[in-house]
A = this chain, B = another copy of it.
Amino acid sequence: MQHYIEQQLKRLDWNIAPQQLYQPIGYALESGGKRIRPQLVLMGCELFGGTRDAALPAALAIEVFHNFTLLHDDIMDNADMRRGRPTVHRKWNDNTAILSGDAMMIKAYELLEQLSEKQLAQILPLFTKTALQVCEGQQFDVNLELCEEATMDEYFEMIRLKTAVLLAAALKMGALVAGANESDAQLLYDFGIDIGIAFQLRDDYLDTFGNADTFGKRIGGDIVCGKKTFLLITALNNADAAQRQMLKQTMADKQLNEAEKIAIVTKFYQQFGADKACENAIGERYQQALNHLERITGHKNDKKPLAELAAKLMGRNL
């Protein structure tokens, strides 16, 4: 399925004028990634008896939109690299990344035009609502970064909007293309929300407790950046006043060398049960997701591919 998506993405032609506008889009899209979101669209469609080809416009739109958000996020985060290559704003410049990103978002909408009138009327509002939520999620992420301390509710709302809604919308768009009823499409959406949140929690967890060889990013990056993750918020919630003070001081200490800071904070996390709490939260969300999937009744094909993808995203076997 990933191969099919890769092939179809390659068929989009970015070798058009003005090349200064479209070439960076081709560059951004050829950089790979796991193509989770378009896979979810296709799987959502196939579950209800639709074909891959029918779901393709929505799948490509979601992937182009997702990569547009990365383009603009990378400017805002001043990120140098993405998937092992220079980011667009580094390889070209900020203005190029802004304008090519804009064109990319519009192209995502253009891809949706291939849907039928009826499908379009159903899917466009979902796509638009989700796109706005992703912007809101990015803003909440910025806000969390700037605030002194975050609550668990704020954290969950941020990852729901920034990560989960797009996965959920991908699944629901696929279901709608196949003509699923609203209740089943919504269950699939809810499955996506919980998988998305579990996935983000797992990413937070692995950032501190993962294996450097398989994680792909450096271990402890979130601690060094002072990111408000589930682990930090849990540890702060569970600590007493003096311990809270100490944890916050350690996080803010600019003298401390990075390896030392990571070691101390990791120990704090373990001391206050943040690692276990995170594992539990992941397990609960994953189970909740499977329950939503279970409750779907109008499917025409096996739920197994979706359950398998969910398990894979959790690093588990079925």
Contacts and interface: CB of A to CB of B under 8 A. Distances in A.
Contacts of A95: 75-76, 142
Interface stretch (A4-12, A118-126, A250-258): A118-126
Nearest to A78: B95
A18 interface: yes
A212 interface: no
Interface string A124-135: 110011011001
Interface stretch (A52-60, A101-109, A165-173): A101-109
A118 B120 contact: no
Interface centre among A20, A94, A121, A139 (most CB of B within 10 A): A139
A136 B22 CA distance: 9
Contact of A132 (B110, B125, B142): B110
A113 interface: yes
A184 to B, nearest CB: 22
Interface string A85-109: 0000000001100110111011101
A128 B109 contact: yes
A311 to B, nearest CB: 33
Where chain A touches its partner, the secondary structure class is: helix
A128 B110 contact: yes
Nearest to A65: B106
Interface residues of A, number: 37
B105 A76 contact: no
Given A120-B120, A143-B18, A98 B110 contact: no
Contacts of A120: 117, 120-121, 124
B118 A99 contact: no
A20 B98 contact: no
A132 B117 contact: no
Nearest to A106: B131
Contacts of A136: 17-18, 21, 103
Nearest to A98: B72
Contacts of A129: 110
Given A99-B138, A103-B135, A106-B135, 15 more contacts: A18-B136, A18-B140, A21-B135, A72-B99, A75-B94, A76-B95, A76-B98, A99-B142, A102-B102, A103-B132, A105-B106, A109-B109, A110-B129, A113-B125, A117-B118
